[in-house]
Structure 1
Amino acid sequence: EGTVIGSCHARHRHQEFRQFLNVLDADTPPDVEVHAIVDNYATHKHPAIQRWLTRHPRFHLHFIPTSASWLNLVEVWFAHLTKAQIRRGDFLGVRDLTDAIQAYIHNYNQQAGPFIWTAPAERILAKVMKCRAISESLH
């Protein structure tokens, strides 16, 4: 449906990611499968996260290839957030910035809709294959 569930944290450890997963679990109907597209940051692969996922089988993490953040549609959403709320903003501190982000999420959700790929699937898949080939050649 396009609703954004977001939170701001001072750190990006597995503990904060697990808190976010708990919020997703609470805010998503129990009969809905959750597919999260995440980067290859170690936080998402931590053993505590793997245990959490084992206990919550409706959650599925999909890892985007390294150096392919353009595949992650959340980057598009972050660009909208930056342009509409953060750039040229005047924030007295982190709390002001966090409040502005939460206000943007609230306002965005009043008229939320899903992001839709505008490129043909063939072009997207070709880029994925190219990224995979590059990534595999580096290992």
Structure 2
Amino acid sequence: KLDTQTDKTLDVHLIVDNYATHKHPNVKEWLAKHPRFHLHFTPTSASWVNLVERFFRDITEEQIRRGVFRSVDKLEAAIKQYLEHRNANPKPYQWTATPEAILAKVTRDKEMLGTLH
């Protein structure tokens, strides 16, 4: 869809996590045939960079963790209830750290990872 609906003269840069599906041979083959697409991977162990991870944390903490679900249907109902409440009272996620602070943390983490054996 991105390929067909994006101006063919533009490069497309996608930010993705390090999940293995983005590195699958089929994906690599498709990317090789579509050189205007460029994947940029978020750093390993940096879920805080991905705002959807914040949402997963919230739903886990606020709806799932202390719940007792006696069936998959009950779990699904609880998730749907959470989503309905969240959508009725939306609150956008906002970065609280400056870009400089984020980049400094990434630099520190990369340096520390380089010292591990």
Q: Same fold (TM over 0.5)?
A: yes
Alignment coverage as a number of residue pairs: 110
SS in 2 for 1:119: coil
Ranked by relative contact order (alpha carbons within 8 Å, sequence separation 6 or more), the top structure is 1
Alignment of 1:119-134 (within 5 A): 119-134=97-112
Whether 1:71 and 2:53 are equivalent positions in the alignment is: no
SS of corresponding position for 1:115 = coil
Q: Give, in whole Å, the separation in 1 of the partners of 2:75 and 2:85.
A: 15
Tell me the TM-score normalized by structure 2.
0.64
Distance in 2 between the 1:79 and 1:92 partners? 22
- CA displacement at 1:80 relative to structure 2: 1.2
Identity of aligned residues (%): 50
The offset of 1:57, in angstroms, is 8.3
Kept after mapping to 1: 8 A contact 2:15/2:40: yes
Greater mean deviation of Cα atoms: 46-55 or 77-86: 46-55
Partner residue in 1 for 2:58: 80
How far did 1:68 drift?
2.1
Larger Rg: 2
Give me the TM-score of the superposition, normalised by structure 1: 0.56
- Note the residue ranges of structure 2 that are not aligned, 5 or more in a row: 7-11
* Structure 1, unpaired ranges of 5+: 1-24
Task: Work out whether residues 36 and 59 of structure 1, in 8 Å CA contact, stay in contact via their aligned partners in 2.
Answer: no
Per-residue deviation, 1:112: 3.5
Q: 1:97 pairs with 61, 64, 75, which one? A: 75
User: Helix, strand or coil: the match of 1:74?
Assistant: helix
Q: Aligned-residue CA RMSD in angstroms?
A: 3.5
Q: Deviations over 1:16-53 (max 9, x none)?
A: xxxxxxxxx6xxxx56x784441x23222112233456
Is residue 45 from structure 1 mapped to residue 23 from structure 2 by the alignment? yes
